[in-house]
Amino acid sequence: MKEPTLGNPQHTIEVLQKYNFSFQKKFGQNFLIDAHVLDKIISSAEITKDDFVLEIGPGIGTMTQYLACAAGKVVAVEIDQSLIPILEDTLSAYDNVRIINEDVLKVDIAKLVQEENGGKPIKVVANLPYYITTPIIMGLFESHVPIQSITVMVQKEVADRMQVGPGTKDYGALSLAVQYYSKPYIVANVPANCFMPRPKVGSAVIRLERYDEAPVAVTDEKMMFKVIRASFNQRRKTLANGLNNSSELDFTKEEIQLAIEKLGKGASIRGEALTLDEFAALTNILLAEA
Ligand code: SAM
């Protein structure tokens, strides 16, 4: 298969000029122009010819070319219509790529995986549009799309939030959700000069390896996430107040106090001090009481 031609400033500029393309800020368009970073993403995603890869936001097709060389099949979802003729051009040498012109948040990915890969687990690889990182990742996990791993470029600060545990300022609902569904691992930090145009924030590649089985036992997953959201909504308040004030939960003050006591914590404990294990246990206690 044809070696990638994109992944450097010169060829990227040539393509942009040929099509008179103007960047759209609202779509979070920062295109990769560094072959080392592209190689690193492909190698850490461990793509083989047996793999079906979903790419979110192919841009002008830079990473898509690398993915097409490594994978069996690539489906790439791009929202910006003006990129479609460019993609048809830059990907014309690859017969294992399908482009879908759509907002990824509106695509039924479980159905797509069923149709294109017989429902077998896929790999997601992307240089994500940063303005919708969290909804994309949470959407993939919560809709139980069969996924083996997600290897994505995200804002450095968001990668940190996905990885940390209790006792740090970055710890929150995103950390717990990501760590409930997957094992996160930061693969590389990527400086702004690897993109065109340069983003104002630092970036990092993170790999999320989906668990076959959740690392904690909880009787009602959805309820646990309601408890987690309620605990972090009011970060400066105690866990008891957070749970009490939540519009998503209807446990009584007494039930909440008793559950926190049964968990072995003091009344002044804050949500940000609890581990994923403890959130699961707290949810199980609350559900058993109610
Ligand atoms: N993959 C390319 C690269 O690395 O050079 C482009 C990455 S750029 C950070 C993000 C891409 O996602 C852009 O092409 C943008 O148009 C696209 N995008 C933004 N919002 C999207 C959405 N809701 N659905 C699908 N694609 C989207």
Q: What is the pLDDT of residues 249-280, one digit of tens each?
A: 999 999 999 999 999 999 999 999 999 999 99
Mutation probe of ligand 1 site: the residue of 127, 133, 134, 140 with most atoms within 8 A of C-beta = 127
From 113, 89, 99, 28, select the one nearest 67 (Cα to Cα).
99
Please tell me what DSSP assigns to residue 126.
E
Q: How far apart are CA 11 and CA 4, in angstroms?
A: 11
* Residue 40, domain extent: 9-210
Nearest to 179 by CA among 200, 205, 206, 219: 206
Indicate the residue among 176, 210, 244 that finishes a domain: 210
> Among 210, 236, 264, where does a domain finish?
210
Whether 1 has a pLDDT exceeding 80, the answer reads no
**In the block, residue with structure tokens 């400066």:** 236
Domain membership of residue 236 (yes or no) is yes
Q: Which of 5-14, 62-71, 163-172 has the highest mean pLDDT?
A: 62-71
Q: What is the pTM of this model?
A: 0.92
Same domain, 83 and 190: yes
Residue of 13, 15, 22, 31 with the most ligand 1 atoms within 8 Å of its CB, for mutation: 31
- Length of the chain equals 290
State residue 176's pLDDT score: 95
Residue 216 lies in a domain: no
Same domain, 232 and 175: no
Angstrom distance (rounded) from CA 166 to CA 172: 8
The number of folded domains in the chain is: 2
- The CATH number of whichever domain residue 118 belongs to comes to 3.40.50.150
Question: Which amino acid, 50?
Answer: D
Residue where a domain stops, chosen among 210, 233, 255 = 210
Which residue, judged by its Cα, is nearest atom 21 of ligand 1? 79
Same domain, residue pair 194 and 96: yes
If you measure from the C-alpha of residue 2 to the centroid of ligand 1, how many angstroms do you get, rounded to a whole number? Answer: 23
**pLDDT at 158 > cutoff 80:** yes
CATH number, residue 268: 1.10.8.100
Closest atom, ligand 1, to C-alpha of 29: 8
- 123 in a domain, yes or no? yes
Instruction: Kindly state the average pLDDT of the residues 98-108.
Output: 97
Asked if residue 4 is part of any domain, the answer here is no
Q: What is the pLDDT of residues 127-150, one digit of tens each?
A: 999 999 999 998 999 888 999 999
Mutate to test the pocket of ligand 1, among 29, 39, 101 (most ligand atoms within 8 A of CB): 29
Q: What is the mean pLDDT of residues 38-54?
A: 97
Ligand 1 shell residues, CB under 6 Å: 27-32, 56-59, 62-63, 77-80, 83, 103-105, 127, 129, 132
At 153 the pLDDT is 98
> Who's near 253: CB < 8 A, 6+ residues apart?
240, 244
- Residue 81 in any domain: the answer is yes
Q: How far apart are CA 257 and CA 242, in angstroms?
A: 12
Do 67 and 42 touch, CB atoms closer than 8 A? yes
Q: pLDDT category, 177, cuts 50, 70, 90? A: very high
Residue 74, burial from CB neighbour count under 10 angstroms (0-12, 13-18, 19+): buried
State residue 188's pLDDT score: 97
Looking at the predicted structure, is the pLDDT value of residue 235 above 80? no
203 in the same domain as 98 = yes
Classify residue 2: in a domain, yes or no.
no
Question: Quick one: pLDDT at residue 144?
Answer: 83
Predicted confidence (pLDDT) at residue 237 exceeds the cutoff of 90: no
Are 123 and 147 in contact, with CB atoms under 8 Å apart? yes
Atom of ligand 1 nearest to the CA of 126: 1
Residue 78 CA to ligand 1 center (angstroms) comes to: 6
48, 228, 23, 235: which is closest to 129 by C-alpha?
23
Measure the CA angle with vertex 245, ends 239 and 250; round to 5°: 100
Q: Which of 133, 228, 146, 251 is nearest to 179 (CA)?
A: 228
Q: Which of 34, 84, 44 is nearest to 191 (CA)?
A: 34
Mean pLDDT, residues 30-51 taken together: 97
